[in-house]
Amino acid sequence: MMDEILRQRSIVTSLSSVINSIGDDEEVEDREDDGEDNGTDSSHWSELGEGEEEDDDSGDDSGENSGGEDENDEDYLPERSTTRQRPRSPSPPAQLVKEEELSHSSVQPTSSTCSQSSVPTCTSERGRTAQRGKATQKRSRRRIPASAPLPEWQRSNWQPKDIPFTASPGLAGAAATMDSDKPVDFVELFLTDEFIDNIVKQTNLYAQQSIEAAQRHSVHSRTQAWKPVTVPEMKKFLGLIFLTGIVKKPELEMYWSTDEVLSTPYYSKVMSRNRFQIILRFLHFNDNNAVQADNTDKLHKIRPVVDYLISKFKELYQPAKNISIDEGMLLWRGRLVFKVYNPLKPVKYGIKSYILCDSQTGYCFNMKPYAGESTPLGDTVVQLLDRLSGHGYKLYMDNYYNSVSLCQRLLHLKTHVCGTLRKNRGEPEDFQTLTKAELKNGQG
C-alpha cells in the first residue's frame, strides 16, 4: 500500500514540474509581449484597431487563483472567446496534492475581446491583432456599399433600346429572279461579260504597250506569236486558273505534262501551254498610263476588279439581322509591300482584309483589303456597314474593333453592337474598380 502511494506521489510531482515549467515560459512571454514591468518596446500597439483595448490580466499567477476555480469564473467564461483556448499555468507545487484534487486544479482558458470598431479585427488577451482583419479591410475597399445605388449595368430591369429591324434579308437583284440550279449561272452573276470584257481590253492594251516599248525581240520569243485575246478565250483561261485550286501540282508546266503518271489531259484540250503562259504574262486589269503621278493607292493595279466584285457582293444579297466583322487572310508568301504576318492565324503570311459577313449564312457582304493605310478602325467599321446602317442590324465584333465611342457612333446609326471591350477603349469607372470575383454569372 505504501509503495502504491509513493508511486502515485512521484507521478504527480513529475506532472506538476512539467506543467510549472511550461507556465513559467508562457508567463515570461506574456510579460515580454505586454511590456508592463520590463520596459520593452510596445510598437505592436499600432496594429490594433481604433477603439480596441487589451485586458489587464497579463498572467499574474502569484497564487490567488492557483488552488481552484475563481468564484467569478462563471461570469468570466462567457461565449465571447473567439481565439483558441490555452491553459494557464497552475500554482507552484508547494505541497503534494491528491489525484482527485489534481482533476480540479486551476486550468483557466484565456479570454479574448472583439473590437467594436468599423474594421472587424479581433485581439486576444495578449493584444495581438488577427491578420485576417487587415485582409478584410483591403477587400472591403473594393466592394460596392450595400446602400450605394447600383450602377446602370447591374440593374436587372434595364433593357437596351429597341431598334426595329426594317431590312428584307435574302437574295436581291438578278439573283432573286434567276430560275436555275446550274453552278455556272451563279458564277456568271458575279463574273459577268462586262467584267470579263474589261479584263480583255486591259490585257490586250498592256500587251501592245509592252511590245511597242521593247527595242527588239528574239526570233524565238513568244511575243512574236501574240494575238489579241477574246472574251470566250479569257473565260477558258480563268476556268483553268480556278481548276488549279482543286488539282494542285508543284509547277505550272506539269499540268500539260505528257507523262502518263503526271498528265492532266483536260488542260491541253482546253488551251495549249504556250498560249496559257503568254496570256498570263500580259494579264492586266488597269491602265498604267491612266494612273496619276500623286496616286497613293497601292491596289491601283487591281482596283477595278476589287471594286466591281464588292459591288456585286452588295447588290445580289441582303444579310439577315445578325452580322459580324473580322479579319480574313489571303495566303501569299511572295514579294509584296503590304504583306502581313500574324503567328496566331491559320494563314500566317498573306494579304489581310476587313470583312463584314452575314452571321447566318457566312456570305461576304463587304470587304476592305488592308494595304498599309492608317485608317481609324471606327471609320473602317462604318465604311463596311455601308447601306446596312439605319436598319436595326446587330453587329458582333471582338475587342480589336470595339470601343465605347464606336458604340455611341453606331447607336446614332441605329445599329446595335455586341462584343468584348478593352480597358483602354473607354471602359466606365464602375468597371475599373471591380474584380472577376465580384461579378456574377453573365456580368463578366
Is it the case that residue 244 has pLDDT exceeding 70?
Answer: yes
For the stretch 17-26, contacts whose Cβ atoms lie closer than 8 Å and that sit 24 or more positions apart, written own/partner, are: 17/93, 19/89, 19/90, 20/89, 20/90, 20/92, 20/93, 22/89, 23/61, 23/88, 23/89, 23/90, 24/89, 26/59, 26/86, 26/89
Give the pLDDT score at 159.
Answer: 74
| Residue with more model confidence, 361 or 160 | 361
Given this model, what pLDDT does residue 300 score? 93
- Distance CA(46)–CA(121), nearest Å, equals 13
Q: What percent of the chain has pLDDT over 90?
A: 49
**DSSP letters for 8-72:** HHHHHHHHHHHHHHHHHHHHHHHHHHHTSSS----GGGGGSPTT----S-----SSTTSSS--TT
Residue 151 has pLDDT above 60, yes or no: no
Average pLDDT on 13-32 reads: 56
pLDDT of the residue at 231: 96
The Cα–Cα gap between 408 and 249 comes to 51
pLDDT value at 81 more than 70: no
pLDDT at 444: 58
What's the CA gap between 205 and 338, in Å, rounded?
27
Whether residue 303 is predicted with pLDDT greater than 60 in this model: the reply is yes
Listed range (94-98, 162-166, 227-231, 299-303) with the worst mean pLDDT: 94-98
Residue 14 C-alpha cell reads as 513529475
For the residues 118-139, what does the mean pLDDT come to? Answer: 46
Q: Is pLDDT at 146 greater than 60 in this prediction? A: no
C-alpha to C-alpha distance for 379 and 90, rounded to whole angstroms: 84
d(CA 231, CA 37): 111
The lowest-confidence range among 7-21, 141-155, 171-185, 290-304 is 141-155
Within a 13 Å sphere around the CA of 340, how many CA atoms are in the beta-carbon half?
A: 17
Q: Using pLDDT thresholds of 50, 70 and 90, give the confidence band for residue 23.
A: low
pLDDT score at 174: 92
What is the 3-state composition of the chain as percent helix, strand, coil, each rounded to the nearest 5?
A: 40, 10, 50
Residues 75-90, mean pLDDT to the nearest whole number: 46
Range in 164-173, 270-279, 317-326, 422-431 the model is least confident about = 422-431
In the chain, which segments carry CATH 3.30.420? Answer: 323-424
Return d(Cα 429, Cα 444) in angstroms, integer: 15
CB atoms within 10 A of CB 213: 7
| pLDDT of 222 strictly over 70 | yes
Q: Is there a contact between 88 and 23 (Cβ–Cβ < 8 Å)?
A: yes
pLDDT at 54: 44
pLDDT band at 9 (very low <50, low <70, confident <90, very high): low
Q: If you search the block for the grid coordinates 514591468, which residue do you land on?
A: 37
- Please list the residues that pair with 356 across neighbouring strands: 325, 366
- DSSP letter at 401 equals T
More confident residue, 69 or 340: 340
- What distance in Å separates the CA atoms of residue 110 and residue 108, rounded to the nearest whole number? 6
DSSP state of 265: H
pLDDT band at 434 (very low <50, low <70, confident <90, very high): confident
Write the CB contacts of 112 (distance below 8 Å, at least 6 apart in sequence): 80, 81, 82, 83, 122, 123, 124, 125
- β 394-396/317-318 pair status: unpaired
Q: What is the mean pLDDT of residues 274-293?
A: 93
Average pLDDT rounded to a whole number, residues 17-23: 59
Among the listed ranges 237-241, 414-418, 437-441, which one has the minimum average pLDDT value? 437-441
Q: How confident is the model at residue 274 (pLDDT cuts 50, 70, 90)?
A: very high
Mean pLDDT of the region 195-204: 97
Question: What CA–CA distance (Å, rounded) separates 106 from 123?
Answer: 24
**What does the pLDDT read at residue 16?**
63
Average pLDDT over residues 88-96: 49
**Grid cell at residue 76:** 468570466
d(CA 352, CA 375): 14
**Confidence check: pLDDT of 62 > 90:** no
Task: Output the DSSP codes for 315-340.
Answer: HSEE--SEEEEEEEEEE--S--TT-E
| Inter-residue contact 368 to 384 (CB < 8 Å) | yes
pLDDT band at 70 (very low <50, low <70, confident <90, very high): very low
- Cell readout for 332 is 501569299
User: Beta partners for 418?
Assistant: 396
d(CA 394, CA 388): 10
pLDDT range class, residue 125, cuts 50, 70, 90: very low
Q: How far is CA 257 from the centre of its chain?
A: 51
Domain covering 323-424: architecture = 2-Layer Sandwich (3.30)
| Residue 161 confidence (pLDDT) | 79
Average pLDDT over all residues of the chain: 76
Residue 149 confidence class, pLDDT cut points 50, 70, 90:
low
